[in-house]
């Protein structure tokens, strides 16, 4: 491949167009990404050929190092690949939790031996991973987990239960948080890897409103994890887990590098097909047209910010707490888009089964229902808002105060707050913090403010909204 340094993206764009034209099966043009479906079926020969081609090229994870099979591209170059896949109606067949969260974490914390063993199969899409974090008694307070790993010399024996294990029924391997020291909370957790194809692992899918569910209960009874698959130091898993969760939020928001190229018709073209156009070629429903434009504008602004966030995270050696902003903003945008999709399809968007509905229509209603969970899993909106308020805006932890609700005199942007008595009336700087403070209390009075990403966090961080 040519050297695309120095901002020479045109050569890469031309190569991408030619390569996609030569390798992407025409029969898959505009097809939804099969990895986005909750039901998994055996891939067709075309789907398998496309996965292998992208895996060998390394463009499924374009910014990952070439030493492990990745594309070795910069974020700007990866954006070119994303754009050309979109123009060709092609989806990215390399994805899942291995791409979204585990791979980036292992690249940072894993040994060279671990990287060589586990990264290339993720790059090729040969293996799928699941996440063993949450437990029935350890959700938001994840560090309370009790799934135990006993040291047996060259391996650990794992016993316990995990819940909401997404994709466990399809997974080949699991990255898991286990308790290796019962005398400490955060400092007694380790990060281990093990195969799901062993006798001591039982998976029970949890049906959800959308039908078949990716969520599972997972039970471990004397499951085995080799010592070579301990990531990081013993009892040092909490630090790794926090970084992985940042990658997860980035991926769930759509800001990660592995989630692009989903394929399928764009919502604007879908609206024209279902609703119709006027004599000028514009969407005939003017109200719907306005709302679609606003959603498209918000989406493009979000995607541009996501690219900037990706570039900043790379220069800062990983994602920051800003992933919480992206997660909240991205899931809101995608939920709004799902609502618009159903409105556009009308009664055809409410089909559950039968030959009267296309595969796209059946996926739309399931995606709309399943998408309701995106503001809960991966850290709920409330949890993300707390992270934003404390780690980005520098606000005090009001869940730990003494009841007086005292606030610091210095506001995060450097201005001084009024040193006089504070009450429920909003000080001058509150509008800039509306997003982060939504749902928080101040001297017993809840901020009655609409969450507004563009006017609050967008302006505060000077990001392009």
Contact 457, 435 (CB under 8 A): yes
Q: What number of other Cβ atoms are within 10 A of residue 399's Cβ?
A: 9
Question: Among 339, 349, 338, which residue's Cα sits nearest to residue 274?
Answer: 349
Termini Cα distance of the chain: 36
**Strands 155-163, 189-195: pairing kind:** unpaired
Tell me, what's the pLDDT at 145? 97
- Report the predicted TM-score, pTM, of the whole model to 2 decimal places: 0.69
For residue 406, the SS3 value is coil
Q: Pick the catalytic residue from 248, 298, 360, 361.
A: 248
pLDDT of residue 7: 52
Name residue 175's beta-bridge partners. 131, 193
**Encoded tokens for 21:** 């034209």
Please report the pLDDT score of residue 197 as a whole number: 97
Per-10-residue mean pLDDT for the chain, 465 residues long?
Answer: 58 96 92 69 91 97 95 91 91 92 95 97 96 91 95 97 92 97 96 97 89 86 98 96 79 44 66 90 91 90 75 60 77 90 92 89 86 77 82 74 42 41 39 37 33 42 39
* pLDDT of 367: 84
Residue 182's pLDDT is 95
Determine the pLDDT at residue 425. 42
User: For residue 395, what pLDDT is reported?
Assistant: 85
DSSP for 296-325, please give it: HHHHHHHHHHHHHHHHHHHHTTS--THHHH
Catalytic residue check, 48:
no
Strand pairing class (445-446; 441-442): antiparallel
Q: What is the DSSP letter of 32?
A: P
Task: List Cβ neighbours of 394 (8 Å cut-off, separation of 6 or more).
Answer: 408, 412
Q: CA 190, 191, 192, 196 torsion: positive or negative?
A: positive
> Is the distance from CB of 70 to CB of 106 less than 8 angstroms?
no
Neighbour tally for 144: CB within 10 Å: 13
| Residue 267: C-alpha distances to residues 259, 270, 290, 304, 385 (Å) | 18, 5, 13, 19, 29
Number of Cβ atoms within 10 Å of the Cβ of 450 = 10
Quick: pLDDT tens for 94-148. 999 999 899 999 999 999 999 999 999 999 999 999 999 999 999 878 999 999 9
Reference 299, options 362, 350, 258, 341; nearest CA is 341
Distance from the Cα of residue 443 to its chain's centroid: 35
pLDDT of residue 256: 44
- Residue 462: per-residue pLDDT: 41
Distance CA(344)–CA(270), nearest Å, equals 8
Contacts (Cβ under 8 Å, ≥6 apart) of 253? 306, 323, 326, 327, 328, 329, 330, 331
How many residues are there in the chain?
A: 465
| Per-position DSSP letters for 421-450, written without gaps between them | ---SSPPTTGGGGHHHHTT-EETTEE----
Contacts 24+ apart (CB under 8 A), 34-37: 34/93, 35/93, 35/95, 35/96, 36/262, 36/363, 36/367, 37/363
Residue 140's pLDDT is 76
Question: For residue 190, which of 244, 127, 144, 239 has the smallest C-alpha distance?
Answer: 239
Tokens coding 174: 């699991």
Provide the token pair at 254.
Answer: 């759509």
Which helix H or strand E contains 157, and what residues bound it?
strand 155-163
Q: Three-state SS for 463?
A: coil
Q: Count the Cβ atoms, other than its own, within 10 Å of residue 183.
A: 6
What are all long-range contacts of 76-80, with beta carbons under 8 Å and residues at least 24 apart? 76/7, 76/9, 76/307, 76/311, 77/4, 77/9, 77/12, 78/257, 79/307, 80/9, 80/12, 80/13, 80/16
């Amino acid at each position: 491949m040519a050297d695309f340094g120095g901002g020479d993206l045109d050569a890469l764009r031309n190569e991408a167009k030619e390569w996609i034209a030569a390798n992407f099966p025409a029969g898959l043009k505009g097809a939804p990404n099969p990895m986005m479906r909750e039901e998994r079926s055996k891939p067709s020969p075309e789907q398998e050929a496309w996965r292998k081609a992208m895996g060998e090229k390394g463009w499924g994870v374009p910014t990952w190092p070439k030493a492990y099979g990745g594309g070795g591209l910069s974020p700007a170059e990866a954006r070119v690949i994303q754009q050309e896949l979109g123009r060709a109606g092609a989806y990215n067949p390399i994805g899942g939790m291995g791409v979204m969260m585990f791979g980036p974490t292992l690249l940072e914390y894993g040994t060279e031996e671990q990287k060589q063993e586990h990264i290339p199969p993720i790059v090729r899409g040969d293996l799928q991973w699941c996440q063993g974090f949450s437990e029935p008694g350890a959700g938001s307070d994840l560090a309370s987990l009790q799934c135990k790993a006993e040291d047996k010399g060259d391996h650990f024996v794992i016993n316990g239960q995990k819940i909401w294990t997404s994709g466990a029924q399809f997974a080949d391997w699991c990255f898991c948080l286990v308790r290796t020291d019962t005398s400490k909370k955060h400092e007694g957790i380790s990060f281990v890897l093990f195969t799901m194809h062993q006798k001591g692992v039982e998976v029970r899918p949890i049906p959800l409103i959308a039908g078949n569910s990716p969520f599972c209960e997972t039970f471990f009874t004397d499951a085995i994890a080799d010592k070579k698959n301990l990531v990081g130091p013993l009892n040092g898993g909490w630090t790794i887990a926090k970084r992985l969760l940042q990658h997860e939020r980035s991926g769930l928001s759509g800001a990660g590098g592995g989630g692009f190229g989903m394929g399928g018709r764009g919502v604007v073209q879908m609206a024209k097909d279902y609703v119709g156009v006027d004599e000028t070629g514009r969407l005939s429903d003017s109200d719907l047209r306005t709302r679609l434009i606003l959603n498209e504008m918000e989406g493009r602004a979000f995607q541009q910010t996501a690219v900037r966030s990706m570039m900043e995270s790379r220069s800062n050696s990983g994602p920051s707490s800003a992933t919480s902003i992206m997660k909240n903003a991205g899931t809101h945008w995608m939920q709004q888009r799902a609502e618009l999709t159903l409105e556009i399809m009308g009664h055809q968007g409410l089909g559950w089964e039968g030959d009267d509905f296309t595969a796209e229509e059946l996926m739309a209603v399931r995606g709309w229902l399943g998408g309701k969970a995106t503001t809960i899993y991966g850290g709920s909106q409330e949890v993300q808002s707390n992270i934003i308020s404390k780690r980005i805006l520098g606000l005090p932890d009001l869940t730990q105060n003494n009841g007086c609700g005292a606030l610091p005199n210095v506001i995060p942007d450097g201005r001084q707050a009024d040193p006089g008595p504070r009450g429920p009336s909003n000080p001058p700087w509150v509008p800039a913090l509306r997003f982060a403070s939504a749902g928080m209390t101040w001297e017993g009075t809840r901020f009655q403010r609409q969450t507004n990403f563009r006017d609050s966090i967008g302006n505060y961080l000077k990001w392009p909204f």
